[in-house]
Structures are given as structure tokens and as C-alpha cells.
């Protein structure tokens, strides 16, 4: 949990149905590494949402054994929501859904660590904290660090919960996520889930995760304009749903 340390091999309950959603836009160069690093033995479904890619993202995902969902409407939230709709149509539905990025900045092999607080019954939403974990130099750009710090402090102020990161590598009980009914199609999706979960009184935990420089250029923090837009959207999302 927050500030805690986990051993290198947490045990995840075998009965849990764990599905993974990976939003991906032009991640041909990175996606194969992401999928190869996932602990497939503990996962039921791996869904890659092709968010209108112009490269071979979908082909790489399919070739690596992942399910491909196509969502041409651009936006991080749009891709995540398309993945959730695919999981909702499945029978039975998952117990836990894990989100991570397709750019190889997250360490997929750390997925058991992120799921563990849910598996042991102490959390409903777990965020992999890049702030608490080990970061490769240059992995988290200055503008991202500043925006993340402001958003985290705002959540602490609103709910009195120790929040250090709004990172994309996270796990959540599927039934809880459906009840939260997230809808943001853009950068605000992760913040919306986090603030709605805290407002609803769900059990929240963070675990330290490793973070490295992504393969390719960031679609959000890679430019000043993108960073400003993302920061504004995240903060406005927190304020809007935090009432």
C-alpha cells in the first residue's frame, strides 16, 4: 500500500479472473515487448484497444495472442472505455481489470504487485505509483511531475487520502468500476476514476512501481501544448467530480 514495500513475488489468488486493457495508438515498436512481459499465466484476457493507429499496432497485438478491439474515436479515455465494453460483453465478467500503457514505460511483470491488495481483500482500487517506485532518469518529464504533484495534492485536500500519483498502471474491481461509470474520453479518464472512487469511499491503495522512458514520443506530455491541455483537463476533472 501507500509507502509500503512488497516482496518481489506477491501471491495473487488463483480464483480471481483478471483481465488486462491496453490502450494503444501507434505502438507497433513497443507493444510486442509489453505483451511478452505480461505474466500471462495469471491472466484470463488481454485486450489491446487500437485507437486509430496508422501503423501495425493491431497486427502486432494479434500476432502476440492478444484480443484486438478497434476504437477509431481518438482519446485515451475512449480507448479504455472501448476495452471495458468488450469485457462487459464477456461471460463471466472479470473480477479485476488492470490498465497499463502500450509504450513499454510501465513494467508489465510487476502486475502481480499491483493486483495484490485487491486479491488479499484490502483494496478496491490500486494505483501503481511511479513516485514511490524507481524511475529511470528522464522517464517522467518535468511537466508531468509538476502536474501530477498538483493533482495528487488536490485529491489529498479533498478527501484526506494519501495520494502520490495518477499513474496509468492500475487495477480495480470490475464491479466497482462499472458502478463508478467513468465517461471521460480524453486525458481525464484516470483522474475521473480516482476521484469518483475516493468520493464513493472505495478502499484505495498505492504500490510502488518502476517506470522507464517510453518507446516513441508521448502523445500527451511530448509537447508543451499537449502537456498544458492534459494538465487542465485532469485538474478540471478532479474539481468537477470532487464536489
**What does the pLDDT read at residue 7?**
39
Fold of 18-241: Spore Coat Polysaccharide Biosynthesis Protein SpsA; Chain A (3.90.550)
pLDDT score for 5: 32
- Residue 220: the pLDDT is 60
Q: Are 231 and 155 in contact (CB under 8 A)?
A: no
Name residue 21's beta-bridge partners.
47, 99
Question: Is the pTM above the cut of 0.85?
Answer: yes
Question: According to the model, what pLDDT value does residue 234 have?
Answer: 85
What residue ranges do the domains of the chain occupy? Answer: 18-241
The predicted pLDDT at position 15 comes to 85
Within 8 A by CB and 6+ apart from 229, the residues are: 187
Tens of pLDDT along the chain (243 residues) come to 333 333 344 556 668 999 999 999 999 999 999 999 999 999 999 999 999 999 999 999 999 999 999 999 999 999 999 999 999 999 999 999 999 999 999 999 999 999 999 999 999 999 999 999 999 998 988 888 888 999 999 999 999 999 999 999 999 999 999 999 999 999 899 999 999 999 999 999 999 999 999 998 766 655 556 666 777 778 888 888 866
What is the structure's pLDDT at 1? 38
Query: Could you tell me which residues come within 8 angstroms of residue 9 by beta carbon, excluding any fewer than 6 positions away?
Result: 112
160 DSSP 8-state letter: -
Residue 236's pLDDT is what?
Answer: 85
The whole-angstrom separation of Cα 97 and Cα 107 is 17
Q: Closest Cα to residue 97, out of 62, 74, 137, 125?
A: 125
**What number of other Cβ atoms are within 10 A of residue 213's Cβ?**
16
Query: What distance in Å separates the CA atoms of residue 67 and residue 70, rounded to the nearest whole number?
Result: 10
| 191 phi, psi to nearest 5 deg | -65, -40
Amino acid at each position: 500500500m501507500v509507502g509500503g514495500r512488497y516482496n518481489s513475488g506477491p501471491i495473487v489468488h488463483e480464483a480471481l479472473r483478471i483481465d488486462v486493457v491496453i490502450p494503444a495508438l501507434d505502438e507497433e515498436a513497443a507493444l510486442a515487448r509489453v505483451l511478452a512481459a505480461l505474466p500471462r499465466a495469471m491472466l484470463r484476457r488481454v485486450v489491446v484497444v487500437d485507437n486509430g493507429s496508422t501503423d501495425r499496432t493491431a497486427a502486432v497485438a494479434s500476432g502476440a495472442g492478444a484480443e484486438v478491439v478497434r476504437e477509431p474515436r481518438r482519446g485515451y479515455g475512449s480507448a479504455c472505455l472501448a476495452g471495458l465494453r468488450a469485457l462487459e460483453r464477456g461471460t463471466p465478467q472479470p473480477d479485476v481489470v488492470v490498465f497499463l500503457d502500450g509504450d513499454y514505460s510501465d513494467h508489465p511483470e510487476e502486475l502481480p504487485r499491483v493486483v495484490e491488495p485487491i486479491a488479499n481483500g484490502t483494496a478496491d482500487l490500486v494505483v501503481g505509483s511511479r513516485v514511490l517506485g524507481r524511475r529511470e532518469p528522464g522517464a517522467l518529464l518535468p511537466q508531468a511531475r509538476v502536474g501530477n504533484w498538483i493533482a495528487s495534492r488536490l485529491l489529498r485536500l479533498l478527501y484526506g487520502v494519501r495520494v502520490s500519483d495518477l499513474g496509468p498502471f492500475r487495477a480495480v474491481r470490475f464491479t466497482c468500476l462499472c458502478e463508478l461509470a467513468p465517461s471521460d474520453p480524453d486525458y481525464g479518464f484516470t483522474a475521473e476514476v480516482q476521484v469518483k472512487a475516493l468520493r464513493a469511499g472505495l478502499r484505495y491503495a498505492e504500490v510502488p512501481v518502476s517506470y522507464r522512458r517510453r518507446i516513441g514520443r508521448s502523445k500527451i506530455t511530448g509537447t508543451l501544448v499537449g502537456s498544458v491541455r492534459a494538465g487542465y483537463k485532469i485538474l478540471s476533472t478532479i474539481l468537477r467530480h470532487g464536489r
